[in-house]
């Protein structure tokens, strides 16, 4: 299971989301994606959505992280597979809890 965590800034306050992926056991060449709303420690509090995608876990998370990073939303400390960050990590998110 791979995880990418992001922090959205909204008018109501911050919202922490965790995107998890696994290989589908029901279908070939598909990953299952689950999105959770998390507390400040990124512990899942509620399941927000479940979906599927034809990309690999790596392809999915690399794209999600690039988009989140460009918006200053990516939370490195609560995401797995750091080798998928190499194409965009500039040290900006290293050593912080909030990605800022």
For the chain, domain boundaries: 2-85
Indicate the pTM of the whole model. Answer: 0.82
Render pLDDT for 48-100 as a digit per residue (tens, 0 to 9): 999 999 999 999 999 999 999 999 999 999 999 888 886 555 544 443 344 43
Predicted pLDDT at 97:
41
Predicted pLDDT at 47:
97
Among candidates 1, 2, 5, 17, which has minimal Cα distance to 78?
A: 5
């Amino acid at each position: 299971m791979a995880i990418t965590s992001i922090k959205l800034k909204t008018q109501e306050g911050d919202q922490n989301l965790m995107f998890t992926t696994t290989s589908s056991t029901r279908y070939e060449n598909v990953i299952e994606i689950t999105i959770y709303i998390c507390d400040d420690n990124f512990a899942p509090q509620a399941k927000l959505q479940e979906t599927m995608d034809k990309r690999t876990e790596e392809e999915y998370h690399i794209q999600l992280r690039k988009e989140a990073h460009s918006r200053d939303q990516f939370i490195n400390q609560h995401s797995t597979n750091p080798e998928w960050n190499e194409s965009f990590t500039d040290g900006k998110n290293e050593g912080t809890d909030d990605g800022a």
